[in-house]
């Protein structure tokens, strides 16, 4: 099973080079870069790795090879996460979340504090709630014979699980997903600062923070009244009540906001992309369906990881160099990254780099774990990996167990997206 790149389409470099021949080349080139990075960051980095790996602009660098990507992610002493910290501070109007904090004593303290609320032993609970909500949602949809995988499942089920496990149900699942989308977009997709996206995020943050302030007060009152609140919010309050002065209400609120924002759309994108791929490949569909019906979740997870290698939900992350650094010392090629450079790190294209990944266009289940960069690497690897993997595999399994799962006829049955976000994907299915 082999997947190749699209041919015949206009690439980023095509459009960028054409813009450089316009009447205002500098402004036109920046506009093209901003649009492509916002809507198709994966295509930009893949194009650069394949055709122009040395491409750079003043103050900007693009890292696309597997070895260079790992070096940047592992050198947190050189490559700072300050761009995320600045975005989070702007959106949240307060201190940054962990993903925007550089490594150090305070980062480690915050990591331990958050880890006491999100526990490794919770994986089974997340899987159970995901399976229940997914099955109930699909059973209801099957009665009508059709399902919008995006709005009726991919974003809904994670929102429901967040209500159970995080203790943050939102006023309703749609509001929770709307807030998460706006905040996530500005912090992680709006790579070059489109003002409209920033304003939407700040409005969503105001609404979400007001909701969380009230929820925290209500949950505290419930606990005082003897209600058992065995969820992330309840554990945070328990730690606060145990004398941890740093677990203030504002810390709880801000961390819950960012944890919620990072889950919903990433999970939705992953579920939509794996189902889209499997429905196009009879061999893959048969193999994944068998794994789901046999409840072989480890095998199904391996299919998920390999499928997403071709189109990962997180194709790029950003760093900023705090000092000049020679990338690739001891390897065949070196490259100097000047100080104060914004560095776009291509996770997606690194997973397709033939210099490090054997037969990258082939679909194989025997690849080493380190070749999967869906959750990053190094100190700032994704904190929500366990939750995300549990959600995606259980949701995919529930779909595969439905009888006669197939695309709707015509255009409705094609996965449609705006930028990195799936928008519509209509499936047909029958009741169990």
Domains defined for the chain, CATH in brackets: 6-40 (no CATH), 55-428 (1.10.630.10)
- Stronger pLDDT, 245 or 3, i.e. the higher one: 245
337-390 pLDDT per residue, tens? 999 999 999 999 999 999 999 999 999 999 999 999 999 999 999 989 999 999
Q: Read off the pLDDT band of 66 (50, 70, 90).
A: very high
CA nearest neighbour of 115 among 343, 386, 332, 359? 386
Q: Does position 192 have pLDDT exceeding 90, yes or no?
A: no
pLDDT at 3 over 50: no
Q: How far is Cα 61 from Cα 423, in angstroms, rounded to an integer? A: 31
The pLDDT tens digits of the residues spanning 219-269 come to: 999 999 999 999 999 999 999 999 988 889 999 999 999 999 999 999 999
Residue 5 above 50 pLDDT?
no
Cα dist from 81 to 88, 195, 340, 341, whole Å:
11, 21, 12, 12
Q: Is the pLDDT of residue 71 over 70?
A: yes
Tell me the per-residue pLDDT of 151-182, one tens digit each, with 9 for 90 and over: 999 999 999 999 999 999 999 999 999 999 99
Give all strands (DSSP E) within 32-175, no chain letters. 56-57, 60-63, 79-80, 146-148
CB neighbour list of residue 55: distance below 8 Å, 6 or more residues apart: 13, 48, 62
**Nearest to 395, CA basis, from 122, 135, 121, 120:** 135
Count of alpha carbons within 13 angstroms of residue 4, beta-carbon side: 3
Cα(32)–Cα(344) distance, integer angstroms: 16
The rounded distance, in Å, linking the Cα atoms of 424 and 309 is 22
Q: Is the pTM of this model over 0.85?
A: yes
Q: Which pLDDT band, with edges at 50, 70 and 90, does 97 fall under?
A: confident
State the pLDDT confidence band at 51, using cuts at 50, 70 and 90. Answer: very high
CB 76 within 8 A of CB 376: no
Residue partners of 126: CB distance under 8 A and separation at least 6: 161, 165, 386, 387, 390, 391
Question: What 8-state DSSP symbol labels residue 413?
Answer: G
Question: What average pLDDT does the chain have?
Answer: 94
Pick from 382, 342, 322: nearest CA to 34: 342
Instruction: Give residue 6's pLDDT band: very low, low, confident or very high (50, 70, 90).
Output: very low
pLDDT of res. 172: 97
pLDDT digits (tens, 9 = 90+) for 271-312: 999 999 999 999 999 999 999 999 999 999 999 999 999 999
Q: With both helix axes pointing from N to C terminus, report the angle between 195-224 and 82-92 in degrees, rounded to the nearest 10.
A: 70
Q: Looking at the predicted structure, is the pLDDT value of residue 321 above 50?
A: yes
191: pLDDT strictly greater than 50: yes
Structure confidence at residue 25 (pLDDT):
62
What is the predicted pLDDT for the residue at 334? 94
- Residue 352's pLDDT is 98
The share of the chain scoring above pLDDT 70, in percent, equals 97
Residues in the chain: 432
Q: How far apart are CA 1 and CA 376, in angstroms?
A: 26
74: pLDDT strictly greater than 50: yes
How much is the pLDDT for 24?
Answer: 65
pLDDT of residue 151: 96
CB-count exposure of residue 55 (10 Å: 0-12, 13-18, 19+): middle
pLDDT band for 26, please (50, 70, 90 cuts). low
CA distance readout (Å), 144 to 17, 138, 391, 415, 430: 50, 10, 24, 20, 8
Q: For position 431, what pLDDT does the model report? A: 86
Q: Lowest mean pLDDT of 72-81, 83-92, 154-163, 171-180, name the range.
A: 83-92
Q: What residues contact residue 11 under an 8 Å CB cut-off, 6+ apart? A: 43, 47, 51
Q: Which residue is associated with the tokens 């007060």?
A: 217
d(CA 125, CA 110): 24
Q: What is the pLDDT of residues 398-432, one digit of tens each?
A: 999 999 999 999 999 999 999 899 999 999 999 87
Question: Do residues 124 and 133 make contact, with C-beta atoms less than 8 angstroms apart?
Answer: no
């Amino acid at each position: 099973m082999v997947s190749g790149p699209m041919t015949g389409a206009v690439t980023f470099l095509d459009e960028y080079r054409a813009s450089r021949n316009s009447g205002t080349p500098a402004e036109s080139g920046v506009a093209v870069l901003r649009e492509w990075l916002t809507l198709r960051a994966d295509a930009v980095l893949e194009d650069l790795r394949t055709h122009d790996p040395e491409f750079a602009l003043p103050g900007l660098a693009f890292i696309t090879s597997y070895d260079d990507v790992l070096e940047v992610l592992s050198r947190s002493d050189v490559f700072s996460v300050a761009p995320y910290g600045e975005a989070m501070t702007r959106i949240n109007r307060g201190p940054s979340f962990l993903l925007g904090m550089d490594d150090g004593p305070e980062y480690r303290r915050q990591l331990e504090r958050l880890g006491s609320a999100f526990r490794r032993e919770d994986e089974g609970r997340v899987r159970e709630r995901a399976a229940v909500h997914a099955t109930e949602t699909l059973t209801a949809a099957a009665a009508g014979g059709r399902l919008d995988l995006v709005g009726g499942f991919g974003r809904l089920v994670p929102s429901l699980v967040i209500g159970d496990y995080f203790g943050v149900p939102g006023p309703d699942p749609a509001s929770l997903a709307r807030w998460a989308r706006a905040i996530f977009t500005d912090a992680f997709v709006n790579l070059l600062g489109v003002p409209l996206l920033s304003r939407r995020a700040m409005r969503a943050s105001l609404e979400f923070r007001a909701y969380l302030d009230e929820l925290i007060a209500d949950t505290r009152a419930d606990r005082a009244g003897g209600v058992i609140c065995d969820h992330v919010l309840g554990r945070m309050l328990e730690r606060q009540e145990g004398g941890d002065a740093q677990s203030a209400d504002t810390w709880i609120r801000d961390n819950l906001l960012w944890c919620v924002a990072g889950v919903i759309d990433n999970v939705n994108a992953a579920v939509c992309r794996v189902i889209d791929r499997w429905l196009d490949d009879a061999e893959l569909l048969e193999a994944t369906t068998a794994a789901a019906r046999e409840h072989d979740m480890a095998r199904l997870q391996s299919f998920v990881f390999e499928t997403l290698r071709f189109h990962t939900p997180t194709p790029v992350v950003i760093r900023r160099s705090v000092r000049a650094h020679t990338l690739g010392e001891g390897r065949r090629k070196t490259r100097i990254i000047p100080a104060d450079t914004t560095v776009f790190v291509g996770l997606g294209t690194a997973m397709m780099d033939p210099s490090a990944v054997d037969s990258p266009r082939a679909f194989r289940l025997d690849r080493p774990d380190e070749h999967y960069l869906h959750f990053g690497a190094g100190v700032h690897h994704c904190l929500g990996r366990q939750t995300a993997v549990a959600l995606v595999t259980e949701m995919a399994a529930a779909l595969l167990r439905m009888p006669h799962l197939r695309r709707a006829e015509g255009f409705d049955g094609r996965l449609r997206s705006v930028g990195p976000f799936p928008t519509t994907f209509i499936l047909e299915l029958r009741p169990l």
